[in-house]
């Protein structure tokens, strides 16, 4: 299983121990899990996963990364359905057809390498790349007549996105490297990302079950968090429809900075 320092000092979260409750009852867990779910909902429907990469690192304060990723699976499914339902008319279908094969290939790669990789290393790499991309965007902003990124770069970044999405639900930053410079309208950007990650997250269920991550305790805990998912989705859709494109991308950059910094910190500490 993916390495985590705390796994050496406590039982595996994926195997129910004798007398272990069917749902996590620690109040400290819900103190970080509920804000994580709301923030993830806002990201799913309003800011194109800019803040979404923070969800697993925040929950890591209370549980291991693989456990947090497993608990979020049903929550992600509900959010994906809600976001796609609200934004289904704002999807760039040509872009989706290009991105999906590479994203799904990344899922396959993540499933095959899952037991051999350290989550902290993956988080650090994703965080560092996110901050480098953000610095490049801010120091050397593209001009209105700048050409779009090459498709080979989009393929590589989408492959990386599928991989990091499988390992730690951190697929947003890599694919943003390619999609943000395309300068889509905010609702089209958000709708396209909602459609992409709906299919990507749906594809993760079978390999997650194969790896033994979807146990009853994780799923029961996820059900306890489901009522908070619509709050974030509703808030995100409302903000996306009212926000000026310039402010939208500024908020997106703030989300990338926060998520990149947290992921890099997790990789280095």
Has residue 11 got a pLDDT over 60? no
What's the pLDDT tens digit per position in 196-205? 989 999 999 9
Name the pLDDT band for 47 (thresholds 50, 70, 90).
low
Output 27-33 pairs: Cβ under 8 A, ≥24 positions apart: 28/62, 29/59, 29/62, 29/63, 29/221, 30/224, 31/62, 32/58, 32/59, 32/61, 32/62, 33/59, 33/62, 33/71, 33/225
Report how far apart the first and last C-alpha atoms of the chain are (Å, whole number): 20
Here the tokens at position 186 are 């905010």
Has residue 48 got a pLDDT over 60? no
Name 3's bridge partners.
Answer: 118
What's the pLDDT tens digit per position in 139-158? 766 666 677 889 999 999 99
Q: What percentage of the chain reaches a pLDDT higher than 90?
A: 14
Length of the chain: 269
Residue 101 CB contacts under 8 Å (≥ 6 apart), including other chains:
none
Has residue 95 got a pLDDT over 50? yes
pLDDT of residue 140: 64
Cα Rg for the chain, rounded, in angstroms?
18
pLDDT of residue 18: 44
| pTM of this structure | 0.72
Name the pLDDT band for 101 (thresholds 50, 70, 90).
very high
């Amino acid at each position: 299983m993916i390495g985590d320092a705390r796994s050496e000092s406590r039982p595996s979260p994926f195997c129910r121990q004798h007398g272990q409750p069917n749902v996590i009852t620690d109040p400290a867990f819900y103190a970080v899990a509920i804000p994580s779910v709301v923030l993830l909902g806002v990201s799913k429907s309003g800011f194109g996963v800019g803040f979404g990469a923070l969800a697993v690192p925040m929950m890591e304060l209370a549980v291991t990364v693989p456990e947090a990723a497993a608990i979020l699976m049903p929550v992600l499914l509900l959010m994906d359905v809600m976001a796609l339902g609200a934004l289904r008319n704002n999807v760039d279908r040509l872009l989706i057809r290009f991105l999906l094969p590479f994203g799904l290939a990344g899922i396959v790669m993540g499933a095959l390498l899952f037991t051999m990789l350290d989550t902290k290393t993956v988080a650090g790499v994703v965080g560092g790349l996110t901050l480098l991309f953000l610095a490049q965007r801010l120091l050397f902003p593209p001009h209105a007549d700048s050409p779009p990124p090459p498709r080979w770069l989009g393929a590589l970044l989408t492959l990386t996105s599928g991989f990091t999405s499988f390992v730690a639900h951190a697929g947003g930053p890599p694919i943003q490297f390619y999609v943000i410079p395309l300068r889509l309208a905010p609702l089209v950007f958000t709708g396209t990302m909602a459609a992409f990650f709906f299919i990507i997250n749906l594809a993760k269920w079978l390999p997650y079950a194969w790896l033994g991550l979807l146990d009853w305790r994780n799923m029961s805990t996820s059900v306890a968090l489901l009522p908070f998912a619509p709050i974030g989705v509703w808030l995100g859709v409302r903000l996306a429809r009212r926000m000026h494109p310039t402010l939208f991308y500024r908020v997106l950059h703030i989300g990338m900075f926060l998520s990149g910094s947290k992921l890099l910190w997790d990789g280095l500490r």
